[in-house]
Amino acid sequence: MEFKHYSVMLGETIDMLGVKPDGIYLDGTLGGAGHSSEICKRLTTGHLYGVDRDEAAIEAASERLKPFSGKYTILRSNYSDALAVLSEMGVTSFDGILLDLGVSSYQLDTGERGFSYRFDAPLDMRMDTRQELTAADIVNEYSESELYRIIRDYGEEKFAKNIAKHIAAARKDKRIETTSQLDEIIHAAIPAKMRTEGHPAKQTFQALRIECNQELKALEKSLDEMTEALKSGGRFCVITFHSLEDRMVKASFRKSESPCTCPPNFPVCVCGKKPLGRVITKKPITASEKELKENSRSKSAKLRVFERV
């Protein structure tokens, strides 16, 4: 299957990055290289480092970026490890960094990857197939209380407790191995009259994907590190698709802009913490009406931007 991924808010993101012809850029979520190809178009002596942990994304991006030979380097890694990997290569600062935290259309639409309830497939959900932990392992081996916490917090599912209870009961009879099995269990856990807004399994599948790939932990580890890795005038663009992600980005950017920890009644700052820069987007940028018509998955997307002083 061809790797397809609609690059959300492509024009807005590239505009916000303000690509310099001689700049050094990091795309930590390379995907199909939609954003990266636009960055490369604007480079002369500059260089792009593209990172992704999905093998299919690496293959697709390598093909798409062929016309820009010499302007890019592709690495298969989690973006949370990218700075350490690049530091070993002697690359420690950037004119711009981009994270597009959305799941690719390829991942969602390739049934055997197990990301979607639309296909009967093994419960996998690994973005990096070298990883051992799968969604099936989580569903069958995590305790009922752990499942409840994950579905509640990562899926923001109001029936999380009942869904976790139904999963724990079902797996006593036999191991839950497929998306269809899990989908049926979730349906049974949610009252029929409440199955009116979207697919009943959507939020639980999202929660399992986030846990399987440790998505929020990767983001938490990376935000401050990447902000500090910016050169003066460099920009950090983050596109989120989940309220928890967006809150984390907003809080990190706000802390970098106003790091002072002194009590409000102190006449002068004594903590010595200086601002790293400024938040460019006081309110997040969202997809245009035109884009929403072309790609409904961009509905929840939010772009926030920070600029280093």
Q: Which residue has the higher pLDDT, 112 or 83?
A: 83
Band the pLDDT of 26: cuts 50, 70, 90. Answer: very high
What's the pLDDT tens digit per position in 143-162? Answer: 999 999 999 999 999 999 99
Integer Cα distance of 58 and 33 in angstroms: 9
Using a cut of 0.95, tell me whether the model's pTM lies above it.
no
DSSP conformational letter for 236: E
Q: Are 274 and 259 in contact (CB under 8 A)?
A: yes
pLDDT at 117 over 70: yes
pLDDT at 35 over 60: yes
pLDDT at 243 over 70: yes
Band the pLDDT of 1: cuts 50, 70, 90. Answer: very low
SS3 52: strand
| C-alpha gyration radius of the chain | 21
Q: What is the pLDDT of residue 5?
A: 57
Band the pLDDT of 264: cuts 50, 70, 90. Answer: confident
Integer Cα distance of 158 and 145 in angstroms: 15
Looking up tokens 């969602």, which residue turns up? 108
Mean pLDDT for 200-213 is 95
User: What structural domains and CATH numbers belong to the chain?
Assistant: 10-106+216-308 (3.40.50.150), 132-212 (1.10.150.170)
Q: Which residue has the higher pLDDT, 195 or 158?
A: 158
Mean pLDDT of the chain: 93
Q: Are 159 and 194 in contact (CB under 8 A)?
A: yes
% helix / strand / coil in the chain, to the nearest 5?
A: 45, 15, 40
Structure-derived torsion over alpha carbons of residues 58, 61, 65, 71, reported in degrees to the nearest 10? -50
